[in-house]
């Protein structure tokens, strides 16, 4: 929340009064006072974990995506077809939810492929040797 940072900056750096800050931001004086008295700079909102409609079908869809990844571009199933197949299995969610799941699955798979099986990278770059003028380096 950028507004909380702005309120703190106005009060601490610019030395503006609470009334002036409220006037400039359009907030009430009580709100400005509350934000200035708070220890945290940004509020934290607890988002409860909710089950998705796709959760019972996630393993099935991940399997389809995995088999699709190994096929050529022309042989792959489209996400619309996968959504239609899920609907026949009893899925009641939207196509957008299936597409979002597929995007996340692909991003996770790409991240795994980038980080596994490579070992450690050690660059083979060395600083140049210093050579004094007038003397040849020993071979």
pLDDT tens per residue, range 74-131: 999 999 999 999 999 999 999 999 999 999 999 999 888 777 666 666 777 877 777 6
**What pLDDT sits at residue 127?**
77
The pLDDT tens digits for 36-53 are 888 776 667 778 888 889
- CB pairs under 8 A, 24+ apart, for 91-98? 91/53, 91/54, 91/57, 92/53, 93/52, 93/53, 93/54, 97/52, 97/53, 97/54, 98/54, 98/61
Q: What is the pTM of this model?
A: 0.53
Top-confidence residue, 134 or 13: 13
């Amino acid at each position: 929340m950028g507004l909380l940072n702005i309120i703190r900056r106005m009060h601490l750096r610019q030395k503006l009064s609470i009334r002036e800050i409220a006037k400039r931001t359009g907030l009430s004086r009580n709100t400005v006072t509350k934000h200035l008295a708070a220890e945290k700079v940004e509020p934290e909102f607890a988002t409860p974990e909710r089950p998705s409609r796709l959760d019972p079908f996630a393993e099935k869809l991940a399997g389809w995506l995995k088999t699709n990844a190994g096929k050529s571009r022309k042989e792959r199933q489209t996400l619309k077809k996968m959504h239609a197949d899920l609907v026949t299995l009893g899925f009641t969610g939207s196509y957008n939810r299936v597409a979002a799941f597929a995007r996340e699955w692909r991003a996770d798979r790409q991240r795994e492929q980038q980080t596994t099986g490579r070992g450690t990278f050690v660059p083979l770059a060395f600083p140049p040797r210093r050579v004094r003028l007038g003397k040849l380096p020993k071979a």
